[in-house]
Structure 1
Amino acid sequence: MKYPGWWLVILYFVGTAPVLGVNINLRGNLIVTPPECILNNNNQESIHFGDILLTRIDGTHYLQDLPLSLTCSELAKNNLTLTLKGEQTTFNSNGALKTSNSKLGIVFYINGSRQAINQPVKFTYSALPSLKVAPIKNSTANYSNTDGGHFTALATLKVDYQ
């Protein structure tokens, strides 16, 4: 080889040449809206207990099914919560819904277990919970201090995306 020293000089300069950087701009659109879910086809549900006897009201007699259907679009995850929202009675520490009769409340059952008002319960879209309701009375309620007649209660079922 005629010029062996030149190759070493060239390799030295190539090996120590400054590295050039290139800025990269990245862009996107982050959409942070939860999926749309429709509960019971946007219909209000009504439960009619009919004629009930004060002496049989205990939170299990007169149990009624509360229909639940849910349609969600574009669910990224299967995790949801269901909350029964409403005003709680003052006489039941287990979270009964207040009614228009101060001696009566309504208790909710989710998948057979008693559920307190305003407390979320986790479920998956693929396994909707079963809901039931029943009237409950104040333990001090009797014929002499309880007015009979029509009673009403109002609760809201709320589904949240996790």
Structure 2
Amino acid sequence: MKICKQLALLVLCTAGINASASANLAFTGTLVEPPLCTINNGNTLTIDFKDVGVNKVDGINYRLPMNYTITCAGSTLPWEMVLTVKGTASSFESAAVQSSVTDLGIKLLQNGQPFQLNTPIVINPATPPALEAVPVKRPGSTLKSGGFSAAATLMAEYQ
């Protein structure tokens, strides 16, 4: 019986000892850059509104499509693409590029909705959104006849 008690005591004393194992970890990988993309083969996309009636600028009249293409080098990775229009917004419409005329802007639309300047949107490069441009004026302003221009940068980038 004394031997049983000693054996039981020995078992209890060794119960706190755990068996353990260890292994070394190794991490590897390859850093890759997203593929390069171009819009309109690097050419300027020009939208010519031609003659615009000063009393007909209402954000609806003179709406024109912005026909563009996005071409990217091939990649098998699931990159996320964003489209951004970078430019100076007019003080009266955040989706309009300020023009050379103080109270006139060029509002941009993507799939019929305002395309906020300097705000990227996620797109599918295989089916990019339809973009449109339309002249808008500051509410209550009177436009004077004369030429106008506006400029912005359309950017397609992988994230």
- Asked if Structure 1 and Structure 2 have the same fold, meaning a TM-score greater than 0.5 normalized by the shorter chain, the answer is yes
Cα–Cα, structure 1 residues 33 and 118, in superposed 2: closer, same or farther, change >3 Å?
Answer: same
TM-score under structure 1 normalisation? 0.76
TM-score under structure 2 normalisation? 0.77
Percent identity of equivalent pairs: 31
Deviation of the 1:78 alpha carbon: 5.0
- Residue 161 (structure 1) aligned with residue 148 (structure 2): no
Which stretches in structure 2 are left out of the alignment for 5+ residues? 1-21
Q: Conserved in 2, the CA contact under 8 Å of 1:83 and 1:119?
A: yes
**CA distance, structure 1, for counterparts of residue 122 and residue 27 of structure 2:** 36
The aligned residue for residue 46 of structure 1 is 46
Residues 86-135 of structure 1 deviation map (CA, whole Å, 9 limit, x = unaligned): 0011122x431100000100001111111111111111122111111000
- Residue 148 (structure 1) aligned with residue 149 (structure 2): no
- Residue 130 (structure 1) aligned with residue 130 (structure 2): yes
- Residue 58 (structure 1) aligned with residue 58 (structure 2): yes
SS in 2 for 1:160: strand
**CA distance, structure 1, for counterparts of residue 148 and residue 23 of structure 2:** 73
Q: Conserved in 1, the CA contact under 8 Å of 2:54 and 2:144?
A: no
Deviation of the 1:28 alpha carbon: 5.8
Q: Conserved in 1, the CA contact under 8 Å of 2:38 and 2:156?
A: no
SS in 2 for 1:158: strand
Which stretches in structure 1 are left out of the alignment for 5+ residues? 1-20
Residues 10-36 of structure 1 deviation map (CA, whole Å, 9 limit, x = unaligned): xxxxxxxxxxx9979x68662331211
The aligned residue for residue 86 of structure 1 is 87
CA RMSD of aligned residues (A): 2.2
Cα–Cα, structure 1 residues 75 and 44, in superposed 2: closer, same or farther, change >3 Å?
Answer: farther
Cα–Cα, structure 1 residues 69 and 75, in superposed 2: closer, same or farther, change >3 Å?
Answer: farther
Q: Conserved in 2, the CA contact under 8 Å of 1:35 and 1:75?
A: no
The aligned residue for residue 95 of structure 1 is 95
**CA distance, structure 2, for counterparts of residue 120 and residue 85 of structure 1:** 9
**CA distance, structure 2, for counterparts of residue 75 and residue 160 of structure 1:** 16
Q: How many residues align?
A: 139
Deviation of the 1:75 alpha carbon: 5.2
Residues 21-78 of structure 1 deviation map (CA, whole Å, 9 limit, x = unaligned): 9979x68662331211111111111111011112211112101111121111225125
The aligned residue for residue 19 of structure 2 is none
The aligned residue for residue 68 of structure 2 is 68
